Structure 1
């Protein structure tokens, strides 16, 4: 059996270090742990690292198959990358994990859940549409609400200030840990450990 873990974000260097790209950062961390390099499967709109995960962790021999995915589409069209890849590899929504930014959680907080609404997150809305269900697992990384009268779009596309990057590295590593825990130990055990 194979799992698909998709980090949501926007492609291109101009979006690096933006709040909307914490999912990409988590995917990069998982790829680093696996010792893999992203490549684009023919006909797919995604960069993918193919690896394995077992009780010894990610990248270890044996265990289950794992695809770490970064859509090549923009955030609002993420499902166009994730849906066809899941279909092609015959991966059901119950084995799809999506890592994304969450305005309703304070920075440094993380929540794991299965299913639920998209809460105005267009990336999640697109994934739901292309998978045909919302019953996938989400790793929600808090970025907080915009200050004052700043618009949501400007805020999520804003870069993390340098003063927050150490804390960001910690939560991105924890998100990667949480993904591994979901696959190895199950969602309930991972929620008990990581929901903050």
Structure 2
């Protein structure tokens, strides 16, 4: 798969104050920090069913459709701006990585993540890039829903914040299509 420059950065999470501090919103935490670094904030954009901003030449999107329907928002932005899936970076929480770990990946399955599953269906492609932020696993499949919809413990939050900082450090390279260099640097750090 090719490494075009990223045009659309999507932070996955659920809208509303009751979800803002939950593990499932880790992708939004990074997206909001990126927007702040560029002196902007996300604002309602009805045509994308999202909070949206333009920063550093990139389109930023936080779908307001709830996690399970994230694809509707991503597809709307991709269609409007004519962005191919390979130029999309989706930032999301990852159960299979420990807190403090961040990893880039292109393509692949959704691993049971309903946001990714819906985006794949809406784009009819899995070729988009992912930035996976580790939130750890509760140890039992039956506890996953409760786990992702609760805030991390303080020590976990500290590790997640460190991983977000490390990811933000290499993000400029990744967004320019230099994914191999960004991956090597990030994956070496955590």
TM-score (norm 2): 0.90
Deviation at 1:16, TM superposition (A): 1.5
- Any unmatched runs of 5+ in structure 2? none
Q: In the alignment, which residue of structure 2 is the partner of 1:75?
A: 67
Alpha-carbon separation, structure 2, partners of 1:188 and 1:149: 33
Instruction: Name 1:102's counterpart in structure 2.
Output: 94
Match of 1:19 among 23, 28, 39: 23
Cα displacement (A) at 1:149: 7.5
Deviations for 1:54-110, whole angstroms, at most 9, x for unmatched residues? xxxxxxxxxxx2011111110011111111111101111111000001111111111
Correspondent of 1:167 among 152, 159, 174: 159
What number of residue pairs does the alignment pair up? Answer: 184
Structure 1 moving runs of 4+ over 6 Å = none
1:43-58 equivalence runs, <5 A: 43-52=47-56
User: Any idea what SS the aligned residue of 2:44 has?
Assistant: coil
The residue number in structure 2 matching 1:56 is none
C-alpha separation between the residues in 2 aligned to 1:131 and 1:18? 26
Alpha-carbon distance in structure 2 between the residues aligned to 1:191 and 1:38: 27
SS of 1:151 mapped into structure 2: helix
TM superposition shift of 1:179: 2.9
Partner of 1:29: 33
Q: Aligned-residue CA RMSD in angstroms?
A: 1.7
In the alignment, structure 1 segments of 5+ residues that lack a partner are: 53-64
What secondary structure sits across from 1:26 in the alignment? Answer: helix
> Does residue 143 in structure 1 map to residue 138 in structure 2?
no
- Partner Cα distance (2:111, 2:140) in 1: 21
Gap change, CA 1:153 and 1:42, over 3 Å in 2: closer
TM-score (norm 1): 0.87
Q: Any conservation in 1 of the 2:135–2:160 contact (CA below 8 Å)?
A: no
CA gap 1:92/1:149 in 2 versus in 1, 3 angstroms? closer
Q: 1:117 Cα deviation (Å)? A: 0.3
